[in-house]
Amino acid sequence: WAVNSGPARAATALQRCVGATVDGVIGPKTVGHVADIPAEKTIEFLAMEREKFYRSLNTFDTFGKGWLRRNEETREKAVEMVFKEKNNG
């Protein structure tokens, strides 16, 4: 998400998700909050925030289908990575 929409947008969404101070900078406090939240919950929240952002753009009618597809693929891959980590760790 940071690549397409800027690191500050992705960082602030993550901070809102985990209850960290929303300042757009991922530091040790944000990382600590992330560690306290189940990864699946964080993944789902970020996917929902990303979709909400895309739908708010005036170019959604033109590019939205591709954005939503990419968002879903990213969500699925992230969940798969969590599952593999849990079963290999």
Q: What is the pLDDT of residue 88?
A: 80
Q: What is the pLDDT of residue 86?
A: 82
Q: How many CA within 13 A on the CB side of residue 68?
A: 12
* Token output for 1: 């998400």
Question: Using CA atoms, how far apart are residues 77 and 75, in angstroms rounded to an integer?
Answer: 6
Q: What is the pLDDT of residue 62?
A: 97
Structural domain boundaries in the chain = 2-88
User: Is the model's pLDDT at 89 over the cut of 80?
Assistant: no
Residue carrying the six token digits 């500050």 = 8
Closest CA to 77 of 35, 36, 39, 51: 39
- Number of other CB atoms surrounding residue 78 within 10 Å: 17
Dump pLDDT digits (tens) for 29-53: 999 999 999 999 999 999 999 999 9
Dump pLDDT digits (tens) for 2-35: 888 899 999 999 999 999 999 999 999 999 999 9
Q: What is the DSSP letter of 36?
A: T
